[in-house]
Chain A
Amino acid sequence: MTETTLTQDATVILERAHFQQLLDALLQSGYRVIGPTIEDRAIVYESLSSVEDLPIGWKDQQEGGTFRLEKRKDQALFGYTLGPQTWKKHLYPPNVTLWQAKRENGSFKITPPEEDRQPLAFIGVRACELSAIAIQDKIFLESEFKDPIYQQNREGLFIVAVNCVEAGGTCFCASMETGPKASTGFDLALTEVIDGEKHYFVVNIGSARGLDVIKAITVRTPEAGEVEAAEARIAEASQNMGRTLETEGLRDLLFRNIENPRWEAVADRCLTCGNCTLVCPTCFCATIEDVTDLTGQHAERTRRWDSCFTMDFSYIHGGSVRYSSRARYRQWMMHKLASWVDQFGTFGCVGCGRCITWCPVAIDITEEANIIRQGDVAKTKEA
């Protein structure tokens, strides 16, 4: 394909055999390339340099409380759905130093850490995860204040999205209207197709930077049926979601059911372990720690991810505001599906299903919401 014919709205084909070129182009442009790889029998998002680092030929089996990697029959590069980790780990790191301070002439001086960061490129971002990044952008970049650490990591981020052609057992992005196809917010979006001997990626270009990268690597014009084959696979995925969630009137439903007896039932099972918040790609709560060294001359402020499931989270003098596990589960779920809408104009849930898969007792947000809908106080009052 000649360069002159390429424009941003072109759809091109990247052969599996040339996939390494994509990684090389990004690495050569100075990006730290991060993508899926296998560690401890799960998919994690870590630095990549070779296509061999990808989870080639693996898929995941996900259900409430279970995650298992299995061999696929084919050699798909992106044949899994989602692991426990999320990209927020790289944009909003779990543990960071915000500043250091030193006593000086009877006062003290605060110095933020030095900014020296390589731009990031994410490979293999799912549609639901793109939505989650857009949600965290609203929190950290689009409100009154900006978070400098998030901003630094986010600015210049290159995103290679990968559309889902198989939905996971706990997925419900179709319900949340966030997937399975990436529609915006990427530089490049790939759909992987394996068809007999053929193994290729349909590439959509989402930005001028994306176009530049495509121009630097070997791609070709699609042949008849190739793009359609990709679309058909995405459509099939959207029909095969492991879970569904009715979102019609959901915010109001939950607000009026704040005293629904169901909260008690789920609290009986919930261990308040906070796994669900740690694996969630949108959860943003954090806590601050101030410490000094032994001399008392140096101090440091760190920030680490926190969870609304801990007792300390809502502690004020006299005790925790949400002392029962009922109130803490309710806080979490109502935040995701109700108050988030007031705060940021979207749900705080993108339907990735991680909280269902990684809950040790398989509590399922879709099931809980559906049960509350069945036992809606508005309905029972009418009856």
Chain B
Amino acid sequence: MLSQPFRIETVHRESYDTFTVELQPTNGHDSFLFAPGQYNMLYVFGVGEVPISISGDPDRPENLMHTTRAVGTVTKAMAELQKGDVIGIRGPYGTSWPVDRAEGYDVVFVAGGIGLAPLRPALYHVLAHRDRYGKVVLLYGTRSPDDILYRSELEQWRSRFDLEVHVTVDYADATWRGNVGVVTSLIPKAPFDPLHSMAMICGPEVMMRFTAIELLKRGIEHEHIYLTMERNMKCAIGFCGHCQFGQHFVCRDGPVFSYAHIGHMLSQWEV
């Protein structure tokens, strides 16, 4: 599949190293349909191509959004781009969050750092169809207050009565009045019915491993926990072999997996 050129309509700086772009195809205004949790391959002209989750609203497919943290060659080059610049897009690829399966259940979102971006489309979906779900809880942890994404949106969400939002940071100075500690510490007291909940986790691999352990301790079933894996990806279509995680190709069997399928592999090293 060849990349299609998309123009950057807006760039929003979320934090010192993370930014969100809104994109439009250069040849028209086609909607970009996707399921929450899917990703695209983003190509920066001549620099390289990386997998980035779609972070926008699945009900507003005319606005393709990606939130990227600048960490290396391609993402740093992308951070230099401005409104009007063009990048290549191919996708959407991969599996999605089980938003349909979660209907009728309490929904627990647990995000670590940039992990809130791939979860946001699922949150949008759940909030747009709020009556179909039980309690909805978002637990979000970052390294420091400066790393918190989507601040104004989080404030809005926090003021809703039908959504519990808890944010925690690993480190903070005296000006921070919120929780300090890892995100897993929020799980024991979070308001959801473990026997009737669906959890969706996205963050660094260790964070997801410990989060799952805490959720299991509360009594959520293995089959009701979903998480996303990150592996090196060069092709996104099952050809390059780079994304293998045991027998799974993260690019097409993932990135969203059920804990029941891959949970045991999280405690095996270097798989």
Residue contact A292 to B239, C-beta cutoff 8 Å: no
Q: Give the CA-CA distance A140 to B48 in the complex, in Å.
A: 23
Assign chain A's interface to a size class: 35 or more
* Listed stretches B96-104, B130-138, B183-191, B246-254; interface member: B246-254
Query: Nearest residue in A to B249 (C-beta to C-beta)?
Result: A343
Q: Which residues 1-36 in B have Cβ within 8 Å of A in the complex?
A: 1-3, 5, 7, 26
CB contacts (< 8 Å) of A140 on chain B: these are 239
Residue contact B46 to A306, C-beta cutoff 8 Å: no
CB contacts (< 8 Å) of B271 on chain A: these are 258, 321-322, 327, 331
Residue contact B46 to A296, C-beta cutoff 8 Å: yes
- The yes or no answer to B161 lying at the interface (CB within 8 A) is no
Which of A106, A290, A308, A331 is within 8 Å of B46, CB to CB? A290
CB contacts (< 8 Å) of B241 on chain A: these are 284-286, 306, 308
* Listed stretches B121-129, B152-160, B214-222, B229-237; interface member: B229-237
Number of A-B contacts (CB under 8 A): 102
A366 to chain B, nearest CB (A): 22
- The yes or no answer to A143 lying at the interface (CB within 8 A) is yes
- The yes or no answer to A382 lying at the interface (CB within 8 A) is no
CB contacts (< 8 Å) of A321 on chain B: these are 231-232, 270-271
Residue contact A108 to B235, C-beta cutoff 8 Å: no
Q: Give the CA-CA distance A316 to B229 in the complex, in Å.
A: 11
- The yes or no answer to B174 lying at the interface (CB within 8 A) is no
- The yes or no answer to A184 lying at the interface (CB within 8 A) is no
CB contacts (< 8 Å) of A290 on chain B: these are 43, 46-49
Q: Give the CA-CA distance A108 to B252 in the complex, in Å.
A: 28
Residue contact A143 to B238, C-beta cutoff 8 Å: yes
Residue contact B234 to A286, C-beta cutoff 8 Å: yes
Query: Nearest residue in B to A342 (C-beta to C-beta)?
Result: B247
CB contacts (< 8 Å) of B92 on chain A: these are none
Interface string of B199-224 (1 = CB under 8 A from A): 00000000000000000000000000
Residue contact A286 to B46, C-beta cutoff 8 Å: no
- The yes or no answer to A181 lying at the interface (CB within 8 A) is no
Which of B1, B240, B247 is within 8 Å of A339, CB to CB? B247
Q: Give the CA-CA distance A310 to B243 in the complex, in Å.
A: 14
CB contacts (< 8 Å) of B231 on chain A: these are 314, 316, 321
- Beyond A108-B5, A316-B232, is A327–B270 a contact (Cβ under 8 Å)? yes
- Beyond A259-B268, A296-B46, is A314–B239 a contact (Cβ under 8 Å)? no
- The yes or no answer to B84 lying at the interface (CB within 8 A) is yes
Residue contact B239 to A110, C-beta cutoff 8 Å: no
- The yes or no answer to B244 lying at the interface (CB within 8 A) is yes
Q: Give the CA-CA distance A111 to B88 in the complex, in Å.
A: 13
Q: Give the CA-CA distance A286 to B241 in the complex, in Å.
A: 7
Q: Which residues 281-336 in A have Cβ within 8 Å of B in the complex?
A: 284-288, 290-292, 296, 299, 306, 308, 313-317, 321-324, 326-327, 331, 335
CB contacts (< 8 Å) of A331 on chain B: these are 244, 271
B203 to chain A, nearest CB (A): 13
Q: Can you name 9 A-B pairs with beta carbons within 8 Å? A: A107-B5, A108-B45, A139-B238, A143-B238, A259-B268, A285-B242, A292-B45, A292-B47, A342-B247
- Apart from A288-B240, A321-B232, what 9 extra A-B contacts exist at CB < 8 Å? A107-B26, A108-B45, A259-B268, A288-B235, A290-B47, A292-B46, A306-B242, A314-B232, A327-B271
Chain A residues packing against B (C-beta within 8 Å): 99, 101, 103, 106-110, 112, 139-140, 143-145, 147, 258-259, 284-288, 290-292, 296, 299, 306, 308, 313-317, 321-324, 326-327, 331, 335, 338-339, 341-343
